Amino acid sequence: MAAIAPSGEINGTRRYDAQGKIVAPGLINTHTHLAMTLLRGWAEGVNLQGFLERVWAAEGAIMDGATAKLGTTLGALEALLGGTTTALDMYLFPESTHRGAVEVGLRHIGGPIFFDFPGLDGMQWNERIDFAKKWPTILTEIGGPAVPSYLMPHATYTCSPEHLAEIAEIARETASSIHIHASENENENKEVQEKYGKTPTQILDISGVLGRHTVYGHGVHLTEGDISTLVSRSGAVAHCPGSNLKLASGIADITTYRDRGVKVGLGTDGCSSSNDLDMWSVMRLAAHLISHTEGPERVSASEIFRMATIEGARALGIDESTGSLEVGKSADIIAIDTNAPHLIPIHNLFAQLIFAAGRDDVCDVWVDGEQVIENRRSTRIDFSVLRRDVEERMNALTSLKK
C-alpha cells in the first residue's frame, strides 16, 4: 500500500466503490491442511486417534502430487471466498500444494513435511532433508505472493528428537521457520511423556526446534513450564477451537497464553476435521468459549478480530508485511457487504464482524494488490472446471468407501 488518505485525495488507475461495505485486512489462517478439503466429512464421530486412522487410510488410497494440488486449489478458493488471504498450510507434496494455492492467488505458506517413516509420498528421510535445503529456491521459482520459508515436522510422536534436531539445523541453514503439531490432546502428551520422559515442548526445546521461529498447531495441553518455555523462545500457538472441540481434544487456555506473552493466532485446521475453512466461525467460537469459561468481559470482539489478522501475522512472523492496513504493507484486503438484514444496524463494528457477519458476506478480496475475488467469484479460475476435476478424482474415494 503506497498511501492511505480520504476519498478524492489519491488518484489511481481504478476506483472501487466501497459504499455500504466494511473494508478490512484479510484474515490469516495460522493452521490448516488445504489438500484435505477433498476428505471433508470422511471421518465423522471419532476422536483424534480414530480420525488419523481413517484419514491416513484414505490418503494412502488416493493421494498423490496431482491430487494434493487439486485439493489445495479447492481449499484455497474456499478460503479466499471467505476472506482469508494468508494460510499456513501443512501437507505432503508441498511443491504441488504451493502451486495449487498460488494458482488462485492465496498467500500460501507451505513447506516440506517430515516423518520418521516414509510417507505416502514415498520420500526417505535423506530425501526429505535434501528437499528441505532446496525449498527457499523452489519458493522463488514458483513465485506468487511473497512468503517466508517454513519447515514442517509433523509432531513429536512422528519425529524422533534426533530427527527434530536435524530439522532445526536445516532451519538455521535456510533461515526457515518451523510449524509443528504440539500437545493437541492429552493422549499425545501421555504418549510422548511415556516414551521420552518429557513433554512435547521440552523435546522441541532440547532438540533446538524452539530456537527458531516456531508455530504450534493447536497447543491445547501446555503445562506451566511449557508456557514459560514458549514465551522465552518467542513461540506461537495456532488456536483451532472448532477442530479441537469436534475431535474432543480439549480447549486451549489462550487467554493465559496471551497474558504470559505467547503469540496466538487462529486456525481452522483441515476440512477433514473441521469440515470447512471458515475463519468467521472460528472467531465466533473462540470468543464464545472464552466468554463461557472465563466471562464475557475477558476478551473483546476487537481482540478476537486482531487474533485473526495482525496477531495471526505476528504469530507467523509476517506482521511487517501484512495483517493490517498500513502504508508499506501488502494490500491484502477484504470487503464485507453490509447490505443484508443480519448486518443492520451497526452499533458496534467489531461485535458486528465477530457475532453477526459470516464468510458469505465477503464480496471482494485483494491479495498483494491484485483482486482475486470480485463479486464473490474468482478472477483467476473457472470454478465449474475445478468442480468437474474434483468430482472425477473423488470417484476413486467413493469406491473405497463402498
pLDDT tens per residue across span 373-384: 999 999 999 999
SS3 category, 236 = strand
Write out pLDDT tens, residues 169-226. 999 999 999 999 999 999 999 999 999 999 999 999 999 999 879 999 999 999 999 9
CA angle, 350 then 353 then 354, to 5°:
90
- One-letter amino acid at 143 equals G
Identify the pLDDT of residue 11: 75
DSSP conformation letters of 144-161? SS----EEEE-BTTTS-H
Report the DSSP pairing between strands 236-239 and 214-218. Answer: parallel
**Domains of the chain with CATH codes:** 26-321 (3.20.20.140)
Average pLDDT, the chain: 95
Cα R_g (the chain), whole angstroms: 20
pLDDT of 324 above 90: yes
Band of the pLDDT at 400, cuts 50, 70, 90? low
pLDDT of 144 above 90: yes
Give every CB contact of residue 120 below 8 A, 6+ residues apart in sequence.
59, 60, 63, 92
Looking at per-residue pLDDT, the higher value among 117 and 77 belongs to 77
Distances from the Cα of 273 to the Cα of 63, 248, 365, angstroms: 17, 11, 26
Question: 25 preceded by cis ω (within 30°)?
Answer: no
Q: In what order do the strands lie in the sheet with 27-32?
A: 27-32, 84-89, 107-109
Write out pLDDT tens, residues 53-66. 888 888 888 899 99
Of the candidates 373, 300, 354, which has an alpha carbon nearest to the alpha carbon of residue 78? 373
Write out pLDDT tens, residues 85-106. 999 999 999 999 999 999 999 9
The neighbouring-strand residues paired with 263 are 236
Q: Average pLDDT, stretch 288-316?
A: 98
> Exposure of 76 by Cβ count < 10 A (0-12 exposed, 13-18 middle, 19+ buried)?
buried
